[in-house]
Structure 1
Amino acid sequence: MSVPPTPAQVLGPPIHQISFFEKLDLLPGLLSTVLSIAYAAATAPFRGSSGASTFNRHVSSAAAVKRFSTLQLQYIGLSFGKVYEKWAGQNNLSPEFITLPSGARAFWLGDYKSAKYITVYFHGGGFSLAGEDTHLNFWNGVHESLKANGVPMATLFLEYTLVPHATYPTQVIQSVEAVNYVLKDLKRPASDILLAGDSAGGNLALAILSHISHPAPDVPPVTIPEGQKLKAAVLIAPWVSFELSWPRTKTNEFKDIVSCYAGDKWSKDYLGGKQSTPYTEAFIPPADWWKDVKVEQLLAVAGSDELLVDPIEAWFAKYKSVNPNTSTLVVAQGEIHIEPIIGPRFGRTKSEQGEAIKSWLKAKL
């Protein structure tokens, strides 16, 4: 839609509903996915250098649901809020939600009242898919790691409005609201706050950093007091460029969990016919754009076998050129897109990217 949805629309049923024929197509789609997995398993020994680094990653790439439309995937899955409620019940926790001015909701992991630091987290999924329990599991593990180091943390997860029910800049506006909630309502200084996100969520985290330094006219301001900076930004495979002509975008296409088709469709759907800007693609602006960015430290992680690794490295080179002492990039050999989040779904409980995040946070906080 061309204008942001009203709070009532955000809180109500999805604006766009799945059609009758899309519902009929669900069973054939599931059968197609099962056949893709079986084919991948059978051909895995012959995948060669163009395939994923391990059998598990090769098969899990085939298991990624690429057959369905966005509305079908949203119909099959739970909303992030429902995922959180279920996860909280399984872990004997009471879910705690807040509602932002736009009508978007956010929810807490950890005790924000006693936490030394608060992370505002933006989940990935091409702006089109909800967050998953693996997001909660990973960040709960980060909390436990930091707590053992004497640093209590809480995380506020934003449940932003998904495409196609809203397009840019709605998701950025809602992200700003989440950050302002911690700054204004909880009265926490910027130095207590981290921004974090994976894939499209990393895109939103970088949009916030851009907006703080270079305010976008169609987005409310972030109310950081003069002279303050956010504590840190943690970016897991941030989606910094919608361009698909990067060399490893092609060579990694059969290694990764995401596809060029999905990336192209989701980016166009997110823009909703608008021109891309530095707030939608962090790679667009020159290096000087990132000079004096309002964050003390930044970590980006990626996998060598993912579609986005080239633009991530290219963007990071710009960023680091003007922030040489406050930026870190880790590219994990043989790992794929958002490995710390997607890996556990297929039994891969540890990743170099995930361990790098925990180690880096322990060192910086």
Structure 2
Amino acid sequence: MMRWSSIRQLQWFQTPSIETYKMWCHNQRVEPAVDALRDGSHLMWIGRRRYDRVVLYFHGGGFLVPLTVQAIIFIRAMQIQLNETTPGVGVAILAYSPAPFETFPTQLEQANSALAHLFANGLSSQNLQIIGDSAGGNLALQVFSHALHPEILPTIAPSPLASTAPLEGVFLLSPWVNPQAMGSDAGSFHENRKKDIMTPATYRYWGEHGAPLHSLPASQHAFVAPNLAPKGWYDGMEGFVSRVLITAGEYECPRDDIVAFREDGLREYQDATMVLIREGVHDDPVAEIVAAAMGAGERGATEKSIVDWLHRGFK
């Protein structure tokens, strides 16, 4: 399905994020904890609400696919492992509006709303870490782009990061830095066209519908397509987040784009760690961690390194 489904087919077979979350809670026999945000989006808590130490999760899916059960299992497994060394970490998932019904900057505004809500309830920015996989990683970068370049989006509310200390960390898991799959006939797109879970054509198709550029002025393209950001675009990002962890799979089609983003886009950023997962595909840690959580595999070195990195942020 990942390779060939149309957007209509993908969304037909998926339930809305909040319904998937409530179904998971029912199956786990836990009480749902949902915060309705001012813009109509929602924060969904895994376990009870808490505002001392929080991981905020932006799920993937090309901005087209709502939250999946697998994504919940992934972030819950991360929480369980993290709580072994850092007891009392809350996890909140943002249920943002899907494309193509809503496109940029709607999801950015909803992410900012989630951050503002957490801060308003007493969370210190220095006790917050963001995890964003695929399109969720793209969304996290939109948040920092807006904080760095608010003048380009004068019609939306100011960034909640403008008046806080830097966030403790952001983990970008297979971040969607080239959603239009530019150059998809060469490099890792060509090399991994039969190895990754999605083909170059699928990446292009999802980008055209989930992160379209045609309706945006050129000045806003870097928000949606980080690979198009001009030199120096992310300079100063350390003023908004203290640490960055990036992972990409060796067999991932956009591998080269992700590595280039670290080497070029974050060239001046001091504490940015890039991990290339041997024989990994797109979103590889998610599949590995879900398999281990469901008893179909063992905890791998990648999961341990991610948990250790998050743990260091909550010391």
User: TM-score normalised to the size of structure 1?
Assistant: 0.76
Query: Are residue 168 (structure 1) and residue 109 (structure 2) matched?
Result: no
Is 1:122 matched up with 2:68?
A: no
Q: What is the CA–CA distance in structure 2 between the aligned matches of 1:131 and 1:105, rounded to whole Å? A: 12
| 1:225 Cα deviation from its structure 2 partner | 5.5
Listed as ranges, the gaps of 5+ residues in structure 1 are: 1-63
**Paired residue for 1:97?**
34
- Residues in 2 aligned to 1:348 and 1:254: alpha-carbon distance in whole angstroms: 24
Residue 201 of structure 1 is matched in structure 2 by: 136
Q: Quote the sequence identity (%).
A: 24
> 2:260 matched to 1:314?
yes
2:279 aligns to what?
Answer: 334
Q: Distance in 1 between matches of 2:266 and 2:222?
A: 17
| Pick aligned residue for 2:192 from 252, 256, 281 | 252
2:223 counterpart (279, 296, 301): 279
Q: Is the 8 A contact 1:339 1:351 kept in 2?
A: no
Who is 1:268 aligned against?
208
Q: Secondary structure at the match of 2:304?
A: helix
Asked if the contact 1:331/1:353 (under 8 Å) is kept, the reply is no
User: Are residues 252 and 88 of structure 1, via their aligned partners in 2, closer, same or farther at CA, if it must alter by over 3 Å?
Assistant: same
The aligned counterpart of 2:79 is 143
- Larger-gyration structure (1/2): 1
Mark the CA change 1:70 to 1:322 in structure 2 (over 3 Å): closer, same or farther: same
State the AA in 1 paired with 2:224. Answer: T
Within 2, Cα distance between the matches of 1:274 and 1:84? 32
Return the match for 1:289 from 233, 236, 239. Answer: 233
1:188 to 109, 123, 128: 123
The answer on 1:356 being equivalent to 2:296 is no
Distance 1:349 1:263 in 2: 30
More off after superposition, 342-351 vs 103-112: 342-351
| Count of aligned residue pairs for this structure pair | 299
Following TM superposition, by how much is the alpha carbon of 1:285 offset from its aligned partner in structure 2, in angstroms?
2.1
In the alignment, does 2:233 pair up with 1:298?
no
Q: Which runs of 5+ in 2 are unaligned?
A: none
Alpha carbons 2:181, 2:203 under 8 Å: kept: no
The 8 Å contact of residues 283 and 315 in structure 1, kept in 2 or not, is answered as: yes
Mapped contact 1:290–1:319 kept (Cα < 8 A): yes
- 1:199 and 1:237 in contact (8 A); partners too: yes
Q: Report the 3-state secondary structure (helix = DSSP H, G, I; strand = E; otherwise coil) of the residue aligned with 1:111.
A: coil
Contact persistence 1:235–1:299 (CA under 8 A): yes
SS in 2 for 1:180: helix
Question: What letter is aligned with 2:24?
Answer: W
Distance 1:273 1:342 in 2: 33
Decide whether the 8 Å contact of 1:112 with 1:118 is kept in 2. Answer: no
| 1:295 to partner: Cα distance | 0.2
For the residue of structure 2 that corresponds to 1:134, the secondary structure is: helix
Equivalent residue number for residue 86 of structure 1:
23
SS of the aligned residue for 1:120 comes to strand
